[in-house]
Amino acid sequence: MKKLLYISFAIFLFGGCNNQTESNVVNEIINPVFDKHIEPIIFENCTPCHRENGGAPFVLTSYNDVKKKAKTIAKVTQLRFMPPWPADVEYSHFVGERHLTNTQINTIQNWVKNGAPSGENPNLILNQVKPFVSNFGKPDLVLNMDSIELSAGDIDRFFLTKVSAELPNNKWVRAIEIVPGQRQLMHHFNGHLINYDYGSKTNFNTSPISVEITNGVMDNSDGLDLMSDNGILPQRVHSVVNYLPGVQGTMYPTGIGTFQVNKQFSIVGNDVHYGPSPKDAVDVTKLNIFFTEIPPNRGIGELMLGTNGVSEIIPPLQIQPNTISMHRTEFKVPEDISILTVNPHMHLLGKSLKAYALKPNGDTIKIISIPKWDFRWQFFYTFKKMLKIPKGSIIRVEAVFDNTSNNPFNPFDPPQLVGQRMEYGGSSMRATDEMFQFIITYLGYQNGDENVSLEITEK
């Protein structure tokens, strides 16, 4: 039943949204076979998630796996529901973009229609797929978070977790990558760094700890034993690691985004959110830490527009029932900047979002367009090359919210007034709350930034 609903949502959301520019060109393979034509598509676009601990509910790591699901695969690719990539690839391009061409989609349809023939030598590529370890090669240090037991049941659960480490000396960290043990269940992880002055905490203990949050208070660190001996909580470095479904870790060029960890440090997972689990499960989330000898040479800035941010939402985010409403937020850039990554964020009523910059001379710089918002895929979008936005430009973000009963994700039937709640940093995921936020990670512009590639796959 659930599945049927799912597919009909997908039809509602994705039906008719194929771009028409490519569709007149019919150069798909008419008689495709798995080994030659299908396997490379699956390997490139599907197995990064559809493999052991890749986050998808089943694996596609052999001919038989794919054949068994052939009909559904034909459907979800035709609808462009898979691979998930909500950003419009005609508008702007990002690292790790996954998008099937119409030719590839038609090839898959033909293959399934013809009975999914294997070809002579299937599995040559898929046999090489390994369980997920890292996107950036071998980590220098792996820390295991506390193991968390989730039992079968229909509730969301929230935790605070802490892991600590002691090193021979202070070190520069280029990136921390999170590897959830239960990717299908983890909805959110936001990690802060706490650096201790050496010797300031005599009972410094590296065993992981976790506490469950039951009252909705996200920033209550009681029970995590974070204080130094003098009773003071050392300063935290916020958001050194983040996870949302589908998000891959981000690593920037050397010297950018690097931060220091002290000899004694802790990573605190704030508001770690697990969705309801269909079965008993234990999560041991790993943190892959990548050190570098190169100290930071450029500071990263974060600009948050919209909810809790530097720019107001016009009109305010009070979404009347039975309406589709457009809201915008704008920010004038006071100096030349280079954008690295953007992260649009809305909840269940989100319908579409578009962000662009208007230069002082009137030209438009395209940032991102998400024609069909899907709250399940909240990616961080890193540009392939840094994107320069000149001083005096206005960054404008427009978001459309659908508070009608045609929106299959509307939490209310009949629809009700939905607004934003500012408690807990406004980051609550209660169904009654909506958000409109656009987070920009940037650098002060330097000559030549537009040529700097951000496609980093190995440290």
Binding region for ligand HEC (CB under 6 A): 3, 6-7, 45-46, 48-50, 55-57, 69, 72-73, 76-77, 82-84, 98, 246, 376
Contacts 24+ apart (CB under 8 A), 85-90: 85/377, 85/379, 86/370, 86/371, 86/372, 86/373, 86/374, 86/377, 86/379, 87/368, 87/369, 87/370, 87/379, 87/381, 88/368, 88/369, 88/370, 88/371, 90/19, 90/21
Residue nearer to ligand HEC on the CB measure, 250 or 338: 250
In the complex, what is the shortest distance from the CB of residue 72 to ligand HEC, in angstroms, rounded to a whole number?
4
Residue nearer to ligand HEC on the CB measure, 127 or 206: 127
Residue nearer to ligand HEC on the CB measure, 53 or 72: 72
In the complex, what is the shortest distance from the CB of residue 128 to ligand HEC, in angstroms, rounded to a whole number?
17
Stretch (H or E) spanning 159:
strand 157-166
Residue nearer to ligand HEC on the CB measure, 98 or 385: 98
Is cis: bond before 414, omega within 30 of 0? yes
Asked if 258 and 172 count as a contact pair (C-beta separation under 8 A), the reply is yes
Instruction: Assign 3 to helix, strand or coil.
Output: helix
Tokens 């760094």 found at: 193
Query: What CA–CA distance (Å, rounded) separates 383 from 377?
Result: 17
Residue nearer to ligand HEC on the CB measure, 45 or 195: 45
In the complex, what is the shortest distance from the CB of residue 180 to ligand HEC, in angstroms, rounded to a whole number?
12
In the complex, what is the shortest distance from the CB of residue 153 to ligand HEC, in angstroms, rounded to a whole number?
18
In the complex, what is the shortest distance from the CB of residue 30 to ligand HEC, in angstroms, rounded to a whole number?
20
Residue nearer to ligand HEC on the CB measure, 45 or 420: 45
Contacts (Cβ under 8 Å, ≥6 apart) of 255: 294, 295, 296, 297, 298
- Which residue stretches of 20-139 are H helix? 39-45, 63-68, 70-78, 102-113
In the complex, what is the shortest distance from the CB of residue 9 to ligand HEC, in angstroms, rounded to a whole number?
9
Nearest alpha carbon to residue 194 among 164, 220, 169, 230: 164
Query: Which residues are 209's β-sheet partners?
Result: 162
E strand map for 181-279: 186-196, 209-213, 236-243, 259-261, 264-274
Residue nearer to ligand HEC on the CB measure, 8 or 308: 8
In the complex, what is the shortest distance from the CB of residue 368 to ligand HEC, in angstroms, rounded to a whole number?
17
Contacts 24+ apart (CB under 8 A), 120-124: 120/33, 120/35, 121/35, 122/34, 122/35, 122/39, 122/62, 122/63, 123/35, 123/39, 123/62, 123/63, 124/35, 124/39
In the complex, what is the shortest distance from the CB of residue 345 to ligand HEC, in angstroms, rounded to a whole number?
18
Residue nearer to ligand HEC on the CB measure, 258 or 378: 378
In the complex, what is the shortest distance from the CB of residue 424 to ligand HEC, in angstroms, rounded to a whole number?
26
Residue nearer to ligand HEC on the CB measure, 50 or 171: 50
Residue nearer to ligand HEC on the CB measure, 246 or 415: 246
Stretch (H or E) spanning 11:
helix 2-14
End-to-end CA distance of the chain: 45
C-alpha of 398 from chain center = 20
Q: For the chain, what's the residue count?
A: 459
In the complex, what is the shortest distance from the CB of residue 40 to ligand HEC, in angstroms, rounded to a whole number?
11
Residue nearer to ligand HEC on the CB measure, 73 or 333: 73
Q: What is the DSSP letter of 13?
A: H
Tokens 């998630």 found at: 49
Gyration radius of the chain's alpha carbons? 23
In the complex, what is the shortest distance from the CB of residue 2 to ligand HEC, in angstroms, rounded to a whole number?
9
